[in-house]
Amino acid sequence: MQSSLSNHTERLRSAKLKVTKARQELLDNLEKFSQPFTADDVYDSLMLNGGEVHRSTVYRDITAFARSGILNELSIHGRNGHYYELDDGSHHHHFICKECNIISSIFPEKVERALEEFAQELTHDGLEVEYHSLKFYGVCALCLTSRTNSVFKH
């Protein structure tokens, strides 16, 4: 297995971005997020780890990462700003819990097949589909459980 440092170098090179220590450290930090994050989340976590970096540098690098495909960008209904996640090459969608705000990756295979068929129909109509974007909003299992528990307490 490759060390994460050479992984980072490779990632930056294949994205045609200049390899700098700051960007490698940034990638290291991004790998620690278990769910999509904002540029502010990244800045805060760098600061918590004793980093000395300007907010504007973080924003600039995040934007460059998103533009070059290292990061996927997603906007969440009802929330300001953009969320990002490291592109792991997998095609997936998201479920957003409106109560605890957690964002989970989901792989709706049946939906994908239906969307693929529909994209073909659109192609027949002379349209060119490049990608689709799909999000599910609701309440996660954990929040549903704690809801039930609090009902029982009263």
Q: Which residues bind Zn ion (CB under 5 A)?
A: 97, 99-100, 112, 140, 143
Q: CA gyration radius for the chain?
A: 19
* CB closer to Zn ion out of 5 and 122: 122
Cβ 92 to Zn ion shortest distance, Å? 7
Contact between 74 and 36 under an 8 Å Cβ cutoff? The reply is: yes
CB of 116 to Zn ion, least distance (A): 9
CB closer to Zn ion out of 82 and 93: 93
- C-beta of 22 vs 74, nearer to Zn ion: 74
CB of 59 to Zn ion, least distance (A): 28
Helix residue ranges, H only, 19-137: 21-30, 39-48, 55-67, 109-124
**Which candidate, 3, 40, 5, 44, places its Cα nearest to that of 21?**
5
